[in-house]
Amino acid sequence: MPSTDNERLFPGLYEHLEDERLTQQIATLAPGRVALDDVDDADSPHVLSRYLAHRIHRHLQSVPARHRVDEANRILELLDRGADEAFYIAPGPRQLMAVTQEASTPLRRPATPLSDAALLTNTPHEPQVGREIAKELESADRVDLLIAFVKWSGLHVMDKELQNLKDRGVPFRVLTTVYMGASDAKAINALARKYGAEVRVSYETRNTRLHAKAWMFHRRTGFSTAYVGSSNLSHAAMLDGLEWNVRLSSVATPALLQKFEATFESYWASESFEPYNPDDDGERLARALAAGSGRVSSDVSIAHLDVQPYPYQAQMLQELEAERVIHDRHRNLVVAATGTGKTIVAALDYRRLQADTLNELSLLFVAHRREILEQARQTYATVLRDGAFGELMVDGHQPVRGRHVFASIQSLNTKNLGRFAPDAFDVVVIDEFHHADAPTYRKIIEHFRPQELLGLTATPERGDGVNVAERFFEDRIASELRLWDALDQQLLTPFHYFGVSDGVDLSSLQFRRGRYEDKELDAVYTGNDARTAKVLQALNDKVLDPHHMKAIGFCVSVKHAEYMARKFTTSGLPSAALSGESSSNERRTVLKALQRGELRAVFAVDLFNEGLDIPQVDTILLLRPTQSSTLFLQQLGRGLRLAPDKPVLTVLDFIGFQHREFRFDMKYRAVTGSSRTRLAKDLEDGFSFLPSGTQIVFDTVAQSVVLNNVKRQLRLTTRQVVDEIKDLAAQQPVPESYTLRQYLADSLSEASDIYRRSKFDGRPTTWNTLRRAGGLVPDVLWPPADQEVEVLTLLQRAKAFLNVDDPARLRSYEVLLQPDAPPVSSLPLRKQRMARMLYYSFWPQGSKSGGPDNLESGLRLLRSHAILRNELAQLIDVTADNARNLPRPLGNGYADIPLQTHAHYTREELLAGLGMGEEGQRTPGTVREGVSWIPSSRCEALLVTLHKSEKDFSPNTMYKDYAISETLFHWESQNQTTPECAAGQRYQHHTAQDSHIMLFVRDSPTQEAGTSPYVFLGPVDYVSHEGSKPMSIIWKLRRPMPSPVFSAASTVAPLS
């Protein structure tokens, strides 16, 4: 650990614990030069022990060798004071180096001590990595190998050690790939046959998510080691290549070993790696290796797609199901970028609908081109495993049976449309739904009355201002593939986004309903040679070779597009302009010229759909401002298609000084999925957590413009919010009836934007207190003065209901709050527990929190305040409407527990739901531990926070609790738990003891509006455990966790 023994502190970055010496040094510096930060509670054991280790090491260096053991024991005496037993260091000092199976059979040791970390580079004066690995194999109790390529030349040099590994019965697991055909089939077969390894292979040949080369040697002694680096399993890499490998140790680098183990287990459980048996899979491996090396062509027919949904598809399917089951919406829109598999999602959705109804459902799939219809029919046939599925209705072909029809829009003319009754099809899917406002599409939509209508599009908001989500789907998108997910899945090209200041001042322009006036923008941009010069300069700075680029520039008007095309052409970059007014022939001619490289750029206006669908586009120029996240993503999407020799998309966004009401946060949050607070931090510190290959960079001026704009949204005062509510309500026929749902839609805000705020005028900030401040709640509806303090105290707890997202709880709370609700004592136990969930949400510690002495009195108090009931009704209405998970009751054996899997609960709700707080038991508000045993229901609640530190990345706390797969979860017990203690026995034998383990998970301790709720993953079953004090236990979930939870809880990047 670096010291601060120097008399001065040099400018730069530090991570030094503040001690008295450092405090003195800081005092000599001018105010404002020093940045101090509190150590997070979760990180403090590591930070403090690291400091102590450094100090103890320096101290022992200064002590004569003969006194060092005594000095160390004096330190231990302080640490062990009050302990039941203390263990001191024996004279010497000596180290235990080995315990062998038999006397006089020494074990070879690697040259690097087991307790040390090291960097090995195959240089002459250090051990070769291959020889070190061979020695490590001799003392390992279990071996895991993660290797991109396996070569025979690397395998046979450690033949003796690998054979010995098999003879000793040591488990040996190997993960490898066929990427580029670089592996030798003979070597992979030998691993399985000759050396007894359990091998799993990724057969993806077009790309790979695995480039790692790593070994882990598990030892029951606790001295496990690992190697991570550049060496594949080849002769050159193992012995004499210029390779760099880091040796890790469970003693020196325990957090890294934990991450290694967690990540390997997740890979091992992934369906991306398939078990390999040479006898059964040898031919498939040989074909895949040949295809990967280019020796034979790879068959990429859709028939070979895995028909099980990948995680991002599973999430989209889950969201569609939630729209239907939870919200009773049967006209739904799916939005995803071109090339990301919308049709596969539609086919998987159709398969599930059929499974749910147990009947064959008739289907109409509509698109406008024959090739799209043929691909769609093949996709459905593959997913359904029915090669004869579906009939085409295109180019004169007519369906015979007419049960599953793939029809072109042209074939469904008035004459043919009349052949089909309005209820002829149970499911209607319309591809490229952004055309839906056109007369031909409208006729189809208005004619049919299916059970389910599904629209697919990449561009819901058209250049002419038509938003099909708003017009046909009540302004609601059922499911949208997040850009980050698509990039993680390698479905899209990574992009480098550059925010470039153009120096143009738009602050005085008119800005209404989220848009500038196009005419005013046109006047500012068209003919602005200074701005165009900056555009050309940015191209030269950021694009490898503008004379070979294929760019699309989005402009504000036809005049602006034509001007930009002229200026680029005169600058040596041949360009053209296109608009919605351009003829089809003109569009085809211009776009083909761009594809062939005859043009360098096309400047477009009012074109966002397939009219600009050119996979080869590698540069996007954003030449007009937009705060619409939808339009921004559509423009970006024009360049994200995968194409050969296109490693990255370059995006240049030209940013000026904006009107004060313009909002940058909306489009950047849509891209990153960040909160406004997180976005502001990323803008200041740089975007560190992006998908591989993607970058977001701003120049200094653009960064300042955007950051100040985002911070202004964060600093929006409560008085400004009150005025905004008042102004928007004034536009309604009855301002006093203006609802929270209306306000959030009108202001483009979220409920947390209100409830995250501190008090205003001495009152908590809630929807009704802000309405009251704006004069929208008359005195007659507000509680009298003698009750106001009581009501305000209760309203302050309203934010606890931001998480209510299941219909059963919503209905129960509504019934319990009705003035004529029945006595709680007359309700069955399940509903009584639901009532306690409501009660403890307001008074977590019951009467000790200032609540009434009993449940019945508490509910009567809540019912007596109409303004409180109104607050909860409006808030729950909004949060429940936004629910995307699909809650389910626990089912048989849990009739008295009102919790539903995949719903969100506060700590108070979930503990009360499991029976805590009933007569004679502690109240939920007294619980601070992550484990709670509730005797009345014989349930053990495991409350897991995945990212325990509030920091963005804390490697010392991140790999204790994590998802191995959608159904396996690794959990670390409390520090004092042993396998023999009562809790440890309960964990291992919960079924035999008739107890239940309930798993609740959240990402982090807090969110924007306060404490984060937990997702209930349901009952889990014991699988296995390792260790003691703490125990590391693997649980099996009875219901797979939701895709977003798995993404957050997994230690690995998406593999599929």
Q: Give the residue extent of every domain in the chain.
A: 118-293, 304-481, 488-708, 716-776, 783-896, 929-1049
Backbone angles phi, psi at 944, to 5 degrees: -110, 130
Residue 615 is which amino acid?
A: P
Mean pLDDT of the chain: 87
- The confidence band for 104, taking pLDDT boundaries of 50, 70 and 90, is low
Quote the CA–CA distance of 182 and 180 in Å, as a whole number.
5
Q: Is residue 455 a contact partner of residue 333, using CB atoms and an 8 Å limit? A: yes
Quote the CA–CA distance of 654 and 699 in Å, as a whole number.
10
Quote the CA–CA distance of 272 and 177 in Å, as a whole number.
10
Mean pLDDT score, 1005-1013: 86
- The confidence band for 94, taking pLDDT boundaries of 50, 70 and 90, is confident
- The confidence band for 239, taking pLDDT boundaries of 50, 70 and 90, is very low
At 877-915, the pLDDT tens digits run 898 888 888 999 998 889 999 999 999 999 999 999 999
- SS3 per residue for 183-218: CCHHHHHHHHHCCCCEEEEECCCCCCCCCCEEEEEE
Q: Is residue 502 a contact partner of residue 656, using CB atoms and an 8 Å limit? A: yes
| 118-293: in CATH 3.40.50.1980 | no
Among the residue ranges 207-211, 264-268, 881-885, the one predicted with the least confidence is 207-211
The distance from CA 194 to its chain's CA centroid, rounded to whole angstroms, is 41
Quote the CA–CA distance of 600 and 569 in Å, as a whole number.
9
Among the residue ranges 579-593, 987-1001, 1023-1037, the one predicted with the least confidence is 579-593
Which of 483, 484, 497 lies closest to 697, judged by CA? 497
At 802-837, the pLDDT tens digits run 989 988 899 999 999 999 999 999 999 999 999 999
Quote the CA–CA distance of 453 and 361 in Å, as a whole number.
13
How many other CB atoms are found less than 10 A from the CB of residue 784?
8
pLDDT for the residue 296? 53
Q: Is residue 435 a contact partner of residue 368, using CB atoms and an 8 Å limit? A: yes
Q: Quick one: which H or E segment has residue 772?
A: helix 767-773
- The confidence band for 2, taking pLDDT boundaries of 50, 70 and 90, is low
Say yes or no to pLDDT of 115 above 90. Answer: no
At 433-473, the pLDDT tens digits run 887 778 888 899 999 999 999 999 887 866 555 678 888 88
Quote the CA–CA distance of 308 and 400 in Å, as a whole number.
30
pLDDT for the residue 456? 93
Cis geometry, peptide bond prior to residue 1044 (ω within 30 degrees of 0): no
- The confidence band for 297, taking pLDDT boundaries of 50, 70 and 90, is very low
What does the radius of gyration of the chain's CA atoms come to, in whole angstroms? 32
Q: Is residue 500 a contact partner of residue 534, using CB atoms and an 8 Å limit? A: yes
More reliable by pLDDT, 579 or 678: 579
Quote the CA–CA distance of 687 and 817 in Å, as a whole number.
46
Say yes or no to pLDDT of 24 above 90. Answer: no
- The confidence band for 207, taking pLDDT boundaries of 50, 70 and 90, is low
| 304-481: in CATH 3.40.50.300 | yes
| 929-1049: in CATH 3.30.450 | no
Say yes or no to pLDDT of 534 above 70. Answer: yes
Q: Which two tokens stand for residue 42?
A: 């979760």
At 373-390, the pLDDT tens digits run 999 999 999 999 888 999
How many other CB atoms are found less than 10 A from the CB of residue 641?
20
At 157-169, the pLDDT tens digits run 788 899 999 999 9
pTM: 0.78
DSSP letters for 607-649: --SGGG--TT--EEEE-S----HHHHHHHHHTT-S--TT---E
pLDDT for the residue 39? 82
Query: Which three-class secondary structure state does DSSP give residue 1035?
Result: strand
Q: Which fold has domain 488-708?
A: Rossmann fold (3.40.50)
Cis geometry, peptide bond prior to residue 93 (ω within 30 degrees of 0): yes
* C-alpha torsion sign, points 603, 608, 609, 610: positive
Question: Angle, to 10 degrees, between the axis of helix 829-842 and the axis of helix 855-863?
Answer: 70
Q: Which two tokens stand for residue 136?
A: 């490590």
Q: Do 304-481 and 488-708 fold alike per CATH?
A: yes
Question: Angle, to 10 degrees, between the axis of helix 700-714 and the axis of helix 665-672?
Answer: 100
Q: Is residue 648 a contact partner of residue 699, using CB atoms and an 8 Å limit? A: no
